[in-house]
C-alpha cells in the first residue's frame, strides 16, 4: 500500500517570544528574557509530533523582537509567501512565527495583500521557550494543524494562539502579559481547537471591509508611504500634528478619544493637511468600537473615520492605499467607507 504523502507547509520564523529565552536561565522569567534567541530548527525539534502531521519546510527570515520589524521587512516576506503559493500547488498553507507586539498589524498586512484561498497562519507566544508552561510549542502545533486543514481555506490570514483562531482583520493584542491576549471583542473568534483539531464556528468568509492590494500594486523597493499615528489626550494640543506635517508625512492616523475625538485646537492643522492632500484618518484609542463621525471637531472638518479599524491597522491600510494611488484623496475616502 502506498502511504498518502503528508501535507506540505512552509514556516517563516521571524523571532519574538516564541523564539525567546531567559538571559538568566530562569524558568520563571517571563518579563526580562530576550526575544528571537532560538532558531526555527530548534523550535521544530522541540515539537517532535509535528513531523507526523506535515512535511515542513522552514526558513529563518529574521530572528528579532517584533518591535524591530517594519513594513519594508514585512512586505518582502509577504512577496515571498505569495511567490511560494503561486509556484507550489502542493503547499497546503504558510505559517509565520513572530513576536506578538506587532503581530496584529503584520497579519493585517498579509491579509490585505496575499491573494490565495490557502491559509496564512500567524502565531507567536507570550512565554519564552525557557519558561515553565511555555505556550509557543503548542501554539506552533495548532498553527500547523490549522494550516493543513481544508476548513481553513478562503478565510484569509488567521491569528492562532491560545486555542483560538481569529481573523487578521479584527483580532488585536489586548493585554501586555496574558496568554489570552489576542481578542476580537466585537467580531468574535472564527474558531477554536479541540486539542489540535481546528473547529470553525462559521462557513468561510472574509471581513466585510477587507480590500485587496495585490503584490503588483505595491512598490518594488518595499518602501511604503510614511504615515504617523498621533495620540490624542487631555491637554494635548496640535503640536505633534504640525510637527508631522513639517516632516513631510504622507498620511496621519489620529488615535482619538472615543469616536475619534481630539482637542478642538487640532482642527486647523487637520484641515490644512487635508487641503494639502494629506489624508487624516480618525481612529480611536479605545480598544474596540467603530469610529463613524470624522467631523466631530466642528463645522467643516473632513477627516476620514477609520470605521472598525484600530489605529495600527488603519495605518497599514492607509499606507497600502497611498502606495497604490498616491495623492488620491477620494480613493482613500472610498476605501475607509467600507472599512
Cα–Cα distance, 225 to 319 (Å, whole number): 6
Location of C-alpha cell 491597522: 313
Which residue is nearest to ligand ASN, using beta carbons? 99
**Residue 17 falls in the annotated catalytic set:** yes
Residue closer to ligand ASN by CB (options 70, 292) is: 70
> Which residue among the candidates 17, 123, 130, 301 is catalytic per the annotation?
17
Location of C-alpha cell 512552509: 10
Least distance between ligand ASN and beta carbon 145 (Å) = 21
Which grid cell sits at 330?
Answer: 477620494
Spacing of C-alpha 75 from chain mean position:
12
User: What is the torsional sign of CA 151, 153, 154, 158?
Assistant: positive
Q: Does 95 bind ligand ASN (CB under 6 A)?
A: no
Q: Pick the piece of the chain touching ligand ASN (CB under 6 A) from 98-106, 110-118, 214-222, 331-339.
A: 98-106
State the burial class of residue 141 (Cβ atoms within 10 Å of its Cβ: 0-12, 13-18, 19+): buried
- List residues bridging with 123 in a β-sheet: 97
Angle between helix axes 71-87 and 103-113 (nearest 10 degrees) is: 40
Q: Does 35 bind ligand ASN (CB under 6 A)?
A: yes
Residue 60's contacts (CB-CB under 8 Å, 6 or more residues apart) are: 13, 39, 40
Residue closer to ligand ASN by CB (options 35, 278) is: 35
Residue closer to ligand ASN by CB (options 17, 22) is: 17
x-or-dash pattern for ligand ASN, window 108-147, by CB under 6 A? ----------------x-x---------------------
Q: Does 16 bind ligand ASN (CB under 6 A)?
A: yes
Residue 335's contacts (CB-CB under 8 Å, 6 or more residues apart) are: 211, 317, 321
Q: Does 259 appear as a known binding residue?
A: no
Q: Could you say which of 7, 93, 99, 279 contacts ligand ASN (CB under 6 A)?
A: 99
Q: Does 87 appear as a known binding residue?
A: no
Q: Which active-site residues does the annotation give?
A: 17
Binding-site annotation, residues for substrate: 66, 100-101
Residues that bind ligand ASN (CB under 6 A): 16-17, 35, 65-66, 99-101, 124, 126
Binding-site annotation, residues: 66, 100-101
Amino acid at each position: 500500500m502506498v502511504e498518502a504523502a503528508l501535507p506540505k507547509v512552509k514556516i517563516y520564523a521571524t523571532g519574538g517570544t516564541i523564539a525567546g529565552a531567559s538571559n538568566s536561565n530562569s524558568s520563571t522569567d517571563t518579563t526580562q528574557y530576550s526575544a528571537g534567541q532560538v532558531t526555527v530548527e530548534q523550535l521544530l525539534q522541540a515539537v517532535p509530533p509535528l513531523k507526523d502531521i506535515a512535511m515542513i519546510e522552514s526558513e529563518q527570515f529574521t530572528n528579532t523582537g517584533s518591535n524591530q520589524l517594519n513594513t519594508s521587512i514585512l512586505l518582502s516576506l509577504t512577496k515571498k509567501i505569495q511567490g511560494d503559493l503561486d509556484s507550489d500547488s502542493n503547499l497546503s498553507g504558510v505559517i509565520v512565527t513572530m513576536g506578538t507586539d506587532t503581530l496584529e498589524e503584520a497579519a493585517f498586512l498579509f491579509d490585505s495583500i496575499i491573494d490565495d484561498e490557502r491559509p496564512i497562519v500567524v502565531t507567536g507566544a507570550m512565554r519564552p521557550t525557557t519558561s515553565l508552561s511555555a505556550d509557543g510549542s503548542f501554539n506552533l502545533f495548532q498553527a500547523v494543524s490549522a494550516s493543513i486543514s481544508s476548513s481553513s481555506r478562503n478565510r484569509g490570514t488567521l491569528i492562532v494562539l491560545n486555542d483560538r483562531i481569529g481573523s487578521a482583520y479584527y483580532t488585536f493584542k489586548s493585554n501586555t502579559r496574558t496568554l489570552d491576549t489576542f481578542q476580537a471583542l466585537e467580531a468574535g473568534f472564527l474558531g477554536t481547537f479541540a486539542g489540535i483539531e481546528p473547529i470553525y464556528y462559521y462557513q468561510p468568509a472574509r471581513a466585510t471591509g477587507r480590500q485587496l492590494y495585490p503584490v503588483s500594486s505595491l512598490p518594488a523597493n518595499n518602501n511604503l508611504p510614511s504615515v504617523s499615528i498621533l495620540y490624542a489626550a487631555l491637554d494635548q494640543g496640535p503640536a505633534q500634528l504640525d510637527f508631522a506635517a513639517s516632516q513631510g508625512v504622507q498620511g496621519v492616523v489620529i488615535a482619538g478619544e472615543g469616536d475619534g475625538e481630539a482637542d478642538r485646537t487640532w482642527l486647523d492643522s487637520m484641515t490644512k493637511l487635508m487641503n494639502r492632500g494629506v489624508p487624516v484618518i480618525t481612529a480611536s484609542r479605545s480598544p474596540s468600537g467603530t469610529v463613524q463621525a470624522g467631523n466631530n471637531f466642528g463645522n467643516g472638518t473632513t477627516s476620514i473615520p477609520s470605521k472598525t479599524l484600530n489605529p495600527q491597522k488603519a495605518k497599514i491600510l492607509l499606507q497600502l492605499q497611498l502606495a497604490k494611488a498616491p495623492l488620491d484623496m477620494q480613493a482613500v475616502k472610498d476605501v475607509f467607507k467600507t472599512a
